[in-house]
């Protein structure tokens, strides 16, 4: 190996390696002493250390969340004052689905859209 290069150096240009993509692995959320919450961001690469704590103050009043949503789940488990609003009609929600969300669903559960379409046809 040439002087000044390590195994990660891109020899074609003699440049330092590209930094690893900063991809979120998970967020750790907990109740804080101030009545609010703290959040720590954890990334997939060791090159990006955790970030936080991000400290959020106690919120006043109840915040509306859609029944059965991720936000509803978090509000219940983190003791966040909330009110429940009903979800839109299922047909409307499907029509308004973000293409990025569909792509993520397909990555998490390959073939899910075909399975759902088949189940709807059988009904």
- Of 58, 77, 111, which residue constitutes the final position of a domain? 58
Which residues on neighbouring strands pair with residue 24, listed in sequence order? Answer: 43
Is 1 within a domain? no
pTM assigned to the model: 0.54
What pLDDT was estimated at residue 111? 67
Is residue 44 over pLDDT 90?
yes
Quick: pLDDT tens for 98-109: 666 666 666 666
Residues 78, 30: Cα–Cα separation, whole Å: 7
Residue that the structure tokens 């073939």 belong to = 111
Domain hosting 83: range is: 60-91
Number of domains in the chain: 2
Q: What does the alpha-carbon distance between residue 64 and residue 10 come to, in Å, rounded to a whole number?
A: 51
3 state SS of 73 = helix
78 is a domain residue: yes
* Residue 83 CB partners (closer than 8 Å, separation 6+): 62, 63, 64, 65
83 vs 64: CA distance, rounded Å: 5
| 15 part of a folded domain | no
């Amino acid at each position: 190996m040439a002087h000044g290069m390590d195994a990660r150096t891109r020899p074609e240009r003699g440049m330092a390696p590209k930094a690893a993509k900063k991809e979120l692995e998970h967020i750790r959320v907990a109740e804080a002493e101030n009545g609010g919450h703290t959040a720590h961001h954890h990334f997939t690469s060791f090159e990006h250390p955790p970030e936080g704590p991000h400290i959020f103050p106690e919120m006043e009043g109840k915040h509306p969340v859609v029944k059965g949503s991720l936000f509803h789940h978090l509000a219940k488990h983190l003791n966040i004052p909330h009110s429940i609003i009903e979800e839109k009609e299922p047909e409307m929600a499907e029509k308004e689905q973000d293409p990025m969300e569909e792509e993520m669903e397909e990555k998490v559960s390959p073939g899910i859209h075909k399975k759902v379409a088949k189940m709807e046809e059988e009904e």
